[in-house]
Amino acid sequence: MYIVLIQFRRSDEQVNYHKKAHLSFLKEQVEAGNFIISGNRTPNTGEVILSCLPDMETLYEILQEDPFYKNRIGQYEIIEFDPEIKCREITNFIEEREENP
């Protein structure tokens, strides 16, 4: 699994200009099963995405299609992790993804 941290590097005006397209991109990725959840950082200095993609290369290819990425709105940091301790719902979700990638 991956955590994607986006730190805004542009003005609020530029962020807001690309926000609608960015949210549409995120919604598509959640519906496709590539992202689990996303949201604003608190305070609103960027965003966080949780991804269940099988490898970093695929994640990177998908992130390159993000309007925020294309327009250099933020700096992206990708953290790979192995979810060792998790609730039952997440365990079921991961097992289902492994059985039906």
Q: What is the pLDDT of residues 8-18, one digit of tens each?
A: 999 999 999 99
| Tokens describing residue 96 | 């289902």
Cα distance between residue 7 and residue 71, in whole Å: 13
Residue 25: alpha-carbon gap to chain centroid: 10
pLDDT-based confidence at 101, cuts 50/70/90? low
Q: Return the CATH number at 37.
A: 3.30.70.1060
So what's the pLDDT on residue 44? 92
pTM: 0.87
**pLDDT, tens digit, 9 for 90 and up, residues 22-78:** 999 999 999 999 999 999 999 999 999 999 898 999 999 999 999 999 999 999 999
Q: Which amino acid is at 87?
A: C
**Total domains, the chain:** 1
Range of the domain at 65: 2-99
What pLDDT score was predicted for residue 81?
A: 94
